[in-house]
Structures are given as C-alpha cells and as structure tokens.
Amino acid sequence: MRAGAPRKAFHGFLRLRQVRNFHASRAVGRQENGVELSRTRNIGIIAHIDAGKTTTTERMLYYSGHTRRIGNVDEGSTVTDFLPAERARGITIQSAAITLHWPPRATDDSVAGDSVPSLNNQSHRINLIDTPGHADFTFEVVRSLRVLDGAICILDGVAGVEAQTEKVWIQADHHQIPRLLYVNKLDRNGASFRRTVRDIASRLHVWPAVCQIPWFDGAGKLIGLADVVGLRALKWVAGSDGRVIESIPLQSLKSHDTVLAMEIAKAREALVEILSEFDDQLVESFLDNDQNHLAISEHDMLHALRRCTLHDPQRVVPVVIGASLKNIGVQPLLDCVNRFLPAPSDRPSPKVQLDQAQPILDDVLSGEAIKAYLEAQKSRSRKAKNLATRRPMALVQSMESLSLAFKVVNDAKRGVLVYVRVYSGALSRNSNLYNTNLKLVEKATRLLEMYASDAVDVPQIQAGQIGVIVGLKHARTGDTLLGHVGRASVPPPIDSLQLQPIVVPPPVFFVSLEPQSLSAEKQLAEALAILLREDPSLSVSTDNESGQTHLAGMGELHLEIATDRLINDLKAVVSVGKIEIGYREAIIRTSQVQAGVYDREIAGKRSKASCSVVVAPRQDEDLSNMSGNDDHTVMLPDENLLTIRMADEFDARLESGSDNPSTLTLPSVIQAARNGVTAALARGPKMSYPLYGVHVQLSFDQASLSSDTTLGAISGAARSAASHALKNSVETSGFVLMEPLMLVAIDVNEESMGPVVHDLSSARSGQVMSLDLDEPQHDASSDSDFVVDMRRVYTPPDPFGDNGTGTESIARSPVGGRRRNITAKVPLREMVGYLKTLRSLTKGRGSFTMAVDTFERMTPAQQKRMLAG
C-alpha cells in the first residue's frame, strides 16, 4: 500500500486494489542503471531453524511480482531452496542470493501502492540473502553477514527467542549490522507475541520498539495487524492470497473494535516514550504537539525509527508481526525494509588490508593511505624508493572496481557462479580482475543479476550492488577481486589491497572417503575441488599411511549433506566411512633445532632456500613477549603461533635487492613461510591429526637467501624443517591428544530441566555453567553499561490466558511452562547423536546449539580408550 494509490470506500474501510503480477524479464528492460544507491538494500534473513525464513522469502518474491506462484517448503517448490537435499529435507543448506523490487515497478500504469506514507515511495531494489538456520551451517550465515548492510531477524511466535537466534544476533552485532525483528507464526496455537517481546528484551538485550500488534477476531483467529506508527488497522481479506488488504483509520476503528483501538493508543504512547530516550528530534516533535503521543505525525515517527535503527550500537529494534504461511504481514515487512534498513551509502567504510597497514577503504580511495605507504618507502631500499615517486591518485585511478567474492556455486546449466559484492567503482563485463589473494588475473566474461530462478545478463555491477560473475576458474570465497585499468601488472601497494577476509571456523568432524576404482579417484578429486570452492568450511586431507581421503566439516548434518551432494549431485563413485571426531595432537616439550633445505630443479630452473625451526608448546605469555622486538609474529589456526626471526644480513639483502629476485618482498617471504609451516602443522607426526597449541620458531640466516631463492622454495624449506622438528619432539618426549570441548546452549521447558542437567553432568562428563530462566535479566551481551529495564518494556496482551496488559510481568509461556536456558561445556565425543536424547528427555520441546569452545587435553585413560578404538 503506497501513498496516492487508488482506493475506494468499502463499508467504512479503505479497500486496496490487487497488485498486478508481472514477470522479472519484463521489468529488466528499465534496469538497474536507473536505480539510485539510496534505493538499494542489501539485506539478509537470519533466524533459528524453522522460524519461517524461506516461507517469508517466497511471499516477498510473489508480492513483488518476481514469481507467479507462492513456493511451498513442504512441496519442495521454493525458489531459494534449490538443492535437491534442501527440498527433500525442507531446510535451507546454502544461502541463496536473489534480487526483487518493492514496491513492484509499474509496467503500463502505476502499481497499487500503500496508503502509508513512506520515506521514499519509489521502487527500491532489494538484494536479499536467505540464510540457513541450522547450527551446522553457521559459516553460511557468517559469510553472508560479511556483505550485508541490514538484516531481518525472524522469530517463531510460539518458540520465541531460541538458541540459534541468540547466536546469529551476536554475529550480526559483531558486524554492526542494523536489524529489524519480524515475529512470525502468530496464527499458530500457543503463539505469544507478549512473551516473545519480553524474550527480545531479556535475551537479545535491546529495546523492542513495538511497531505493530496482532489483530485477532472474536474466535481468536489472526486476521491482521494494528499499525502503531500509522495509527490504523490492516485486515487481510480471505481468499486473496494476501493481496487485498483493508485499512481502518484509528478513528473508524474505535466503533469497530474498541479494545484494539485502546491498545493501539497504549502501544503508540510506549513507542514514543522509548524512542524519545534515544532520539532528540522526536522529543522536539512531542513537545511541539503539546505532549500528545497520538498527535505526532507518522512522518516524524518513521524518521525517528530509522535514526534509532541505524545508530551504532543499535539499542532499539523495530518489531513487526505476521503469519507468512497465512500471507499476513509480508507487505508491511517489505515497507519496513525500505524505511528502516540502510542503503550502502549509509554504512561505514569497510576496513581493508594494504600491505602491512589496515586503513578503511575511503582512505585508500582518497589516496591518503597510499600516500602514507609511499612515504614509508623513502627510507627503504632503492627499489622501494622508486615506488615512492608514484602519484597516489594515479594508483587510485587505475582501480576500476573492488569486489569481494562471498559465495561460489557450481550451477549445472551455467557453470561456476561467483557471487560478489562490489564496494567501489563498477565491475564491467570483460574486465580483467586481479585476485589479490591468489595473485592472478581472470576475466569477467559474463555478469548476471539473479531474479528468483531467472538470471539476467547485465553489462555492469555498480558499487553497493550484489551480482554474479560467470566462469571464473580460481576465485574462492573470501577473495578480493580488483578491476585494474591497463595491460601492465598491478603495482604495489594496491596489489596487496584486500577486504577483510571471511574467517573459517575449525572443522570438528570428519569422514573417510574411498574411491571404488582408480578411474573414480580422479573423479573424486575433481568433485571435492568443486565442493571446497562452494563451501570453505569443509576441508580435505589425505592419510599418508592408509592413503584414505578425509573430508572434515562443522557437524554431523553438515557432513551428511556434503557427502550426499558428492555422490548424488557431483556423481562421485565413493564409499563413505562413519563420522568421526576431529581430535588434535599436541607436543609436550621443546624440540631440538631442525634444519630444512629445499634444493630442486624445476623446468630447468634452480629453486633453493633453507631455514631452521624449533617447536615448543605454546605458552600464554608468548604473544606478549613478542612485542618490542624485531621478530615477525603470525597467528595460525588451532591456537598455533609462528615467530619468524631474520638475521640482520638476511633482512639487509632482502631490502637492498642484492642476490634477491624481484619477486621477493618481506610480506611475500612471511606469507611463504607461513604457508609451509601451516602445511606441516596440518598433519601430526603420530596420529595425523592437526597440531594444536604449538609455538613454531623459524629462523632465516644469511645463507637462506640467494639468487636462486623462490617463494616456493621458502615454503618447502619451512614445511620440511617444521615437520622434522615436530617429529623430533614427539620421538623424544611423546605427545598428547586434545579433544574438542563444546560450549552447548540448550533451551528446554522447566519440567524437563532436571533430567537434561542430570544427563549432561553424569552421563556426558559435562560441566553445567548456568541455568537461566527465560525471564527478566539485567545483562548485556556486548556492553555491560547498557541495561534493558524489563519493567518498562511494553508487552501487548495475548488473546488467551491471564496475562494482563501493558508492562506487567509474564510468568508462564502458553505451552509447556517457563523456559530454561542451560549453558554447559561438554566433550564433543559425548554430543554425537545428542539431538535424539534431548528430544526424548523434553518430549520434543528442547533445542540446542553448540560451538567449539576450546580443545582440552585428554587424560591418559581417555587417550588409551580412544586409541584402543
């Protein structure tokens, strides 16, 4: 419903005519070059599993005119869940990126709009990413959050705030992403908007700005919502697929539903009060209107809500409601996306890596960061001084575009699709893209924009937009792609320019893969390469003794889906072993000094390097002791630490250029050494598990560098020396196994708490950390100075039960009594198959999430039992 839309009186209501459907291909003709950046929204949908993310997304596509029918999760007909495994299981596994427009762009005449005045009534382009809700696919959420400007967090109105909801909320906090909350499934038995609002305040630690309240008829059926901001009620007409909505102004509503009209007035007062604490302009409007909460204009309310939503840190979150499966509430939700969530231009400039510095991108594009780099070169070698003569803005102008690859998909029809977010410039078709991570150039031969299941070729992807590059052979998730003008090689320092990488969590489960024939072995390798490009949270290793290939992942379901895709989609002929736990090895004592020499002739060219390595158990003070000296310290996966010590003669020859090939620079030497040491630490000398908590001390002397030295030789020497040092330590002092210790968050009803706690502590060797009521808490996850006063949180009444009104406390949830949140630390070996046990103990009402907290040393008895099988 938009301002100025045709509408007619209908028994006291404003009846809005049906929005005309049209296909995406018809709209694309007047395409994106005309869409201003201020009317672009890059948003994601985040939630606990089964909260209704995909169901809501399908309605968004339908009402915006980009699909002709509503996809159904149970039928397997959804647009965003396109993998066979997703449709078979009814869950989202891979995040799906699609584009829609809201309000729908007109074809022949103006599209029926909203009678609600918007901040901008023009059509907005919404780049939408639907993310998984299952904890095993958290990496999919993390890499999506990396490129988003805003997010919709969907809550199940029956379950309220769940364990995975809190987890993704904290992740969004970490990325400083503005959010709004959509309380879904309020048509379900047991749903409680009142309890969910209190959940938001007590568990997410933000002020819920209740912008809508549910409207039930006399039989308790959800028929619409009350718009607290616009002071109206909206009723969805049955049998219209949610397309026909009747609007009743507050004055007319008083004679139609007095109770709802009174509740709207209470909700408006509460909304004004909470917004006034964080927005001075609304206070002025309140005073200008003689302190009358209902007299404040909708325009002023919308702008106050937007300012509070975009404030960093976000203290106030708009809360809206609906029942997506019943087609209620989705259009107003889309309105809120346009009104409250930010455009790319509203977001702060991202941090980048430029050589050894970490400026923001705006400082690079202004030339300031490059100027600082060039100034620093003047005191260095002759080669570096030559760089200092370059003009900063000339280097900036050679950058045509800067993009981040955040997702890689192997499409059966189109080939490899690389999803990118463009951060500066314009990514053009046929442009040369320099991958600053892999140090290679690829051509963007084809660019696409995704409209539901349709892909549309476009000549450019502008800054702030999300699009797809077809045909890149090497780009991976997290790579920075630099569009460079000219045929010359990319000069420093912009050849080192990288957007912040996407951090991959350590895998904790693995399975063995055995190809069933020699011909199947090559096919398996190719299929695994595709799988790893799509999902970097998977990893592959080979057991040197057995020759088995191991595939590691985040959880049981994650590996089950990955192997299913390997066999059924990628047609690998392979036998899959049982799921096992990814333990770690740790050394006990310091090794003797071990030398590593790499001296080979490859394609008629000599490649030579050497170094020495000592390994020791990492101590907590190792990092602090490194400050103030000339050593180079690098953090590695699994809490490992690398210290690189260079003899003065080595450092001087590297800087002076004497006997130093032009490809060798200090950053490249450090990276090559890191690559070699990381490879050595990936396989322990005793059990072939990765190493944990090792301090590797690597030294280069004068003889390490010669005219034959290459980066590959440095990496090979570092790997050889580190491997020998690890073997020496284990042979002389033994080793210990480390097991993953999981931080487990369990949500149960109170009556099941006793059996669950007993099972954790007695049967699973767990340590219960806390037992929190799902009730008022004075705590904040990210800022101890910020407290939500639960006594002042507005909670509208539910249609059933003795729940009072206003801000009174609610003691019990509608179904199953009060909820308890159990936090415990449990060894991963005890959590295998835990979901079945939890369901049995809680009569199907419990849920849990877990993440690696740390790796803990196993006792000799535990290690003996594990080794015995």
381-418: pLDDT as tens digits: 555 555 555 688 888 999 999 999 988 888 878 889 99
Q: State the pairing for strand pair 150-156/40-47.
A: parallel
Supply 75's token pair: 């039928």
SS (H, E, C) 373-388: HHHHHCCCCHHHHHHH
According to the model, what pLDDT value does residue 9 have?
Answer: 32
Please say if the pLDDT value at position 16 is more than 60: no
Q: Give tens-digit pLDDT for 19-73.
A: 333 233 323 333 344 468 999 999 999 988 888 988 999 999 999 988 888 877 6
What average pLDDT does range 609-622 have in this prediction? Answer: 90
Q: What is the pLDDT of residue 729?
A: 96
Residue 833 has pLDDT above 90, yes or no: no
- Residue range(s) occupied by CATH 2.40.30.10 in the chain: 352-499
Average pLDDT in the 75-84 region? 58
Q: What is the pLDDT of residue 141?
A: 81
pLDDT at res. 801: 53
Q: Residue 277: which pLDDT band, with cuts at 50, 70 and 90?
A: very high
**Is 502 marked as a binding-site residue?**
no
Asked if residue 642 lies in contact with residue 673, where contact means CB atoms within 8 angstroms, the answer is yes
Determine the pLDDT at residue 56.
Answer: 94
Top CATH class, 352-499: mainly beta
pLDDT reading at 364 higher than 80: yes
pLDDT at position 89: 53
**Continuous H helices in 437-568:** 518-534, 556-564
CA distances from 553 to 540, 550, 560 (A): 9, 10, 10
Q: In this predicted structure, what is the pLDDT of residue 260?
A: 96
- Asked if pLDDT for residue 693 goes beyond 60, the answer is yes
Residues 6+ apart with CB under 8 A from 68: 21, 23
Asked whether residue 404 is marked as a ligand-binding residue, the answer is no
Contact between 70 and 452 (Cβ < 8 Å) = no
DSSP 302-341: HHHHHHHHHSSS--EEEEEE-BGGGTBSHHHHHHHHHHHS
509-581 architecture in CATH?
Answer: 2-Layer Sandwich (3.30)
CATH 3.40.50.300 in the chain is located at 7-346
Q: Which pLDDT score, from 0 to 100, does residue 59 have?
A: 93
| Mean pLDDT, residues 548-566 taken together | 88
Is 93 within any annotated ligand binding site? no
Residue 187 labeled ligand binder? yes
* 302 assigned to a ligand binding site: no
Give me the residue label for tokens 């099972």: 759
Q: Which numeric CATH code is attached to 7-346?
A: 3.40.50.300
Look over the chain and give the mean of its residue pLDDT values, rounded to a whole number: 84
With 50 as the cut, is the pLDDT of residue 10 above it? no
> Would the pLDDT of 811 be above 60?
no
- Determine whether the annotation assigns residue 48 to a binding site: yes
Q: Where are the CATH 3.30.230.10 domain residues in the chain? A: 589-733
**Residue 668: predicted pLDDT:** 84
pLDDT at 465 over 50: yes
Determine if residue 184 is labeled as part of a ligand binding site. yes
- Residue 218 has phi, psi (to 5 degrees) of -60, -25
pLDDT for residue 275: 98
351 known ligand binder: no
Q: Is the pLDDT of residue 479 over 70?
A: yes
Angstrom CA distances, 436 to 407, 449, 479, stand at 17, 24, 7
pLDDT score of 17? 34
Confidence of residue 714 (pLDDT cuts 50, 70, 90): very high
- Per-residue tokens: 498: 């990288």
Q: Is 152 in contact with 131 (CB distance < 8 Å)?
A: no
pLDDT at 107 over 70: no
* Helix, coil or strand: residue 28: helix
Whole-number pLDDT of residue 624: 63
Task: Tell whether residue 235 is among the known ligand binding residues.
Answer: no
| Residue range 232-239: mean pLDDT, rounded | 94
pLDDT tens, residue by residue, 483-506: 998 777 888 899 999 998 877 777
Per-residue model confidence (pLDDT) at position 453: 63
Question: pLDDT-based confidence at 75, cuts 50/70/90?
Answer: low
Retrieve residue 83's tokens. 């993998």
Q: Is 795 labelled as part of a ligand binding site?
A: no
The candidate with the shortest Cα–Cα distance to 149, out of 318, 447, 349, is 349
The answer to whether 549 and 540 are in contact (CB under 8 A) is: yes
- SS3 call for 357: strand
Q: Are strands 498-499 and 539-542 parallel, antiparallel or unpaired?
A: unpaired
d(CA 364, CA 371): 9
The structural architecture, per CATH, of the domain 737-868 is: 2-Layer Sandwich (3.30)
> Is residue 780's pLDDT more than 60?
no
Helix/strand/coil (H/E/C) assignment for every residue in 135-156: HHHHHHHHHHHCCCCEEEEEEE
| Residue 766 in marked binding region | no
Q: Are 336 and 805 in contact (CB under 8 A)?
A: no
Dihedral sign computed on CA atoms, order 83, 88, 90, 91 = negative
Decide if 660 contacts 705 (C-beta within 8 A).
yes
Q: How many CB atoms lie within 10 A of CB 789?
A: 11
160 known ligand binder? no
Is 589-733 a domain of CATH 3.40.50.2300? Answer: no
Quick one: pLDDT band at residue 537, thresholds 50, 70, 90? confident
Predicted model pTM: 0.79
Report whether 649 contacts 701 (CB < 8 A).
yes
3-class secondary structure per residue, 756-814: HHHHHHHHCCCEEEEEEECCCCCCCCCCCCCCCCHHHCCCCCCCCCCCCCCCCCCCCCC
> Is the confidence at residue 676, as pLDDT, over 60?
yes
Which positions ≥6 away from 807 have C-beta within 8 Å?
270, 791, 792, 793, 794, 795
Q: Where, residue-wise, is CATH 3.30.70.240 in the chain?
A: 737-868
Give pLDDT, residue 516: 86
Q: Which of 629, 777, 611, 786 has the alpha carbon at shortest distance from 704?
A: 611
Cα(694)–Cα(672) distance, rounded to whole angstroms?
Answer: 19
The reply to whether 833 sits in an annotated binding site is no
Q: How many angstroms separate the most distant Cα atoms in the chain?
A: 93
> Annotated binding residue at 80?
no
Instruction: Name the least confident of 142-151, 517-526, 529-538, 625-634.
Output: 625-634
